[in-house]
Copies of this chain bind each other. A is one copy, B any other.
């Protein structure tokens, strides 16, 4: 089973040359490719990129943080200037969170690759994809990504407990000389067992492997591209509803809009955490809190995984009622109606039922 899982996992990363590892931690992306003291460029655009930077600093890398306003994407101009100045190639890796869940921002990875190529810079290109692989278009080979990672509990709709890491040949090469301390999650051990055909240096979580098999089967049955299109459609419907309510998207430009989560800015006289609390207490609705810099200012609507049009519309109706509950003058039905208008035009028939 592991053999076919590994083959199929490559499809969701859109890679043929990458090597996947089913490893329950994301730390391994860094420790397998870098050495203590290595300089890395890392983008800070929200809470989840902040946490990754924390981890990078804990692991004793020399982290060159490029910060943007929360609500903006990674500042690629700064990247360009840093690469331009680095003819000595002291920068060993570029670390970027593809989809910043805290602010609903998706970064442009193709553009990062273009910049790296422009300067012919050999830095590794490491991507945290926890919250989007299988939900957004992601092309590991096409975009020259060296390590990408995701988790079981996001777009795969599995329980928590499994990380999936995919490494390019260049990353594997780097792992041979990377000196970071690593024990359980050393790719070397895995590669040894891959060769032997037994695949696992340690006992894996069997139930998650069966879960992954089923999750992949469901995705392939719907079609990976259809899954991604569905995420795009539901995200667009959500943004249309937000606009109909007269509220603002935390994401500052359309090019950064995330198709897995929408962070909604509330008027200053409302505490967004009250919206989350109220939704949970009255309507069994799970919204996301604003985190850190945007705490109290935004709430988040997640729209990823095994979700369909009517489930989203139920959620949007719930948000409307909560907004009214907390004193925001929403016209009930306005967001749902606007979203329906879009969805009624764009939702395809279900292939298996035609």
Contacts and interface: CB of A to CB of B under 8 A. Distances in A.
Interface residues of A, number: 59
Nearest to A244: B333
A325 interface: yes
B25 A184 contact: yes
Contact of A282 (B285, B341, B349): B349
B333 A338 contact: yes
Contacts of A208: 161
Interface stretch (A89-97, A190-198, A265-273, A313-321): A313-321
A177 interface: no
A336 B314 CA distance: 9
| This chain's copy number in the assembly | 4
A118 interface: no
A58 interface: yes
Given A159-B206, A160-B204, A184-B25, A340 B332 contact: yes
Interface in A320-346: 320-321, 324-325, 331-338, 340-341, 343-344
Contact of A55 (B27, B183, B332): B183
B332 A344 contact: yes
A277 to B, nearest CB: 9
A354 B336 CA distance: 28
A181 B183 CA distance: 12
Interface in A17-40: 24-25, 27
26 contacts: A25-B184, A58-B181, A59-B181, A159-B207, A160-B203, A160-B204, A161-B205, A161-B207, A161-B208, A207-B207, A281-B353, A282-B347, A282-B350, A284-B310, A310-B314, A312-B314, A313-B336, A317-B317, A320-B340, A321-B340, A324-B340, A325-B344, A333-B334, A333-B337, A333-B340, A336-B340
